[in-house]
Amino acid sequence: MSASAGTPATSREWHLVARPQGWPKPEDFALREAPVRQPGEGQILVRNTHMSVDPYMRGRMSGVKSYVDPYELDKPMLGGAVGRVVASGAEGFEEGDHVLHHLGWREYALVNAKSAVKVDPDVAPLGTYLGVLGMPGLTAYAGLLRVADFKEGDTVFVSAAAGAVGSQVGQIAKLKGASRVIGSAGSDEKVRVLVEEYGFDAAFNYKNGPVREQLAEAAPDGIDVYFDNVGGEHLEAAIASIKLHGRIAVCGMISQYNATEPTPAPRNLAQIIAKRFRMEGLLVGDHYDLQGRFVEEVSAWVRSGELKYRETVVHGVDNAVDAFLGLLRGENTGKMIVRLGD
């Protein structure tokens, strides 16, 4: 085993200490000290440099078992992270290597090397492995091209369009020959970014008026595909605008993640009969067989500048919960990342 000098005896990690009811509160979390242990056989000790905060984490804070286990109380939370190996007990991993793994929400992580993937900062900036070239990117790629069965000439509508997944959905649709791409977002500045930087044909601020009216105006001939990140009023509006045999890929319903009462189904769902549209849920974990194609195609677009991305970076482990809460409030444009150090 190799170990770098200067590794501290303890480091900090975020624990969930109470299950949030409605909107999470800072008191639901605690930043605690934990010993930094040296790696055993097959393990690596990683100094996390970047950690991800993602909307799905809100679901893991509830006690309900879903497609991923809930976070345990008084234990460190989990999530995507990138870091530098500072000690290795695993063949094939050396001090100084960079890895992507799932033990975020902490400064140092003792990682089973089998669950870590090496990443190269000379190929792409490390933050991109959590965003445009990472899980949200694959979600956009697989969700649009496979689940929504995108076809050249389609009119595509995507919600949370200035976020990590949404901004990529809209741009991939344009690059693949969509006839019209429409996005919704929660501020006029985000709407400007969608049209001026990402090349959306139209965009609107859903806080400025009813989504149904704004969508109908932006897509007077209707939409073929709706990529749903939001649910609720957005989903109803999309059903109202969708064409015969349209497709809805349901990726997320962030407008409902903090709801304390059961949320109603779209009130116009019966239109599924007359319009024969298809609506299908999407889980990124089902689509890792597309990883190779996704990285090849999207990294080429990123390198050529055809696909643009933004990151909102919050600095310091102390601010990780604020970053997560900010994400739920829409304070990010593009992927929300917490920078933990070098």
The reply on whether position 311 binds ligand NAP by CB under 6 A is: no
Pairing of strands 117-119, 311-315: unpaired
Q: What CA–CA distance (Å, rounded) separates 339 from 342?
A: 8
> What are residue 81's phi and psi, to 5 degrees?
-155, 155
The reply on whether position 164 binds ligand NAP by CB under 6 A is: yes
| Interface residue with ligand NAP, options 48, 49, 139, 155 (CB under 6 A) | 139
With CA atoms as reference, report the closest residue to 109 among 147, 83, 142, 72.
Answer: 83
CA 213 to chain centre: 28
- Nearest approach, Cβ of residue 258 and ligand NAP (Å): 9
Long-range contacts of 317-322 (CB under 8 A, 24+ apart): 317/12, 317/14, 317/31, 317/106, 317/107, 318/12, 318/31, 320/14, 320/51, 320/53, 320/105, 321/14, 321/26, 321/29, 321/31, 322/26
| Interface residue with ligand NAP, options 46, 145, 148, 162 (CB under 6 A) | 162
C-beta separation of 131 from 76 below 8 A: no
Pairing of strands 202-205, 223-228: unpaired
| Interface residue with ligand NAP, options 230, 298, 302, 323 (CB under 6 A) | 230
Q: Which is nearer to ligand NAP, 120 or 188 (CB)?
A: 188
Q: Which is nearer to ligand NAP, 6 or 262 (CB)?
A: 262
| Rg (alpha carbons) of the chain, rounded to whole number | 21
Angle made by CA atoms 46, 50, 52, in degrees to the nearest 5: 115
Q: Which is nearer to ligand NAP, 36 or 302 (CB)?
A: 302
Q: Where are the alpha helices (DSSP H) in 113-231?
A: 135-142, 164-175, 188-196, 211-218
The reply on whether position 154 binds ligand NAP by CB under 6 A is: no
Segment interacting with ligand NAP (CB under 6 A) among 90-98, 110-118, 155-163, 216-224: 155-163
- Build a one-symbol-per-residue string for 260-299: x at contacts with ligand NAP by CB under 6 A, - elsewhere: ----------------------xxx---------------
| 3-state secondary structure labels for all residues of 265-293 | CCCCCCHHHHHCCEEEECCHHHHHHHHHH
Scan residues 8-37 and list those touching ligand NAP (CB under 6 A): none
Structure tokens at 285: 């974990």
Q: Which is nearer to ligand NAP, 119 or 165 (CB)?
A: 165
Under rule CB under 6 A, how many of the chain's residues touch ligand NAP? 28
| Interface residue with ligand NAP, options 158, 185, 238, 279 (CB under 6 A) | 185
Q: What CA–CA distance (Å, rounded) separates 86 from 108?
A: 9
> What are residue 88's phi and psi, to 5 degrees?
-130, 135
- Nearest approach, Cβ of residue 196 and ligand NAP (Å): 16
Q: What CA–CA distance (Å, rounded) separates 274 from 286?
A: 30
Q: Which is nearer to ligand NAP, 81 or 327 (CB)?
A: 327
- Nearest approach, Cβ of residue 114 and ligand NAP (Å): 23
Q: Which is nearer to ligand NAP, 43 or 159 (CB)?
A: 159
Scan residues 238-267 and list those touching ligand NAP (CB under 6 A): 251-252, 254-255
| Interface residue with ligand NAP, options 54, 154, 201, 311 (CB under 6 A) | 54
Beta bridge partners of 67: none
| Interface residue with ligand NAP, options 186, 226, 241, 302 (CB under 6 A) | 186
Q: Which is nearer to ligand NAP, 140 or 223 (CB)?
A: 140
Q: Which is nearer to ligand NAP, 47 or 190 (CB)?
A: 190
Length of the chain: 342
Footprint of ligand NAP on this chain (CB under 6 A)?
Answer: 54-56, 136, 139, 160, 162-166, 185-187, 190, 229-230, 251-252, 254-255, 282-284, 327-328, 330, 332
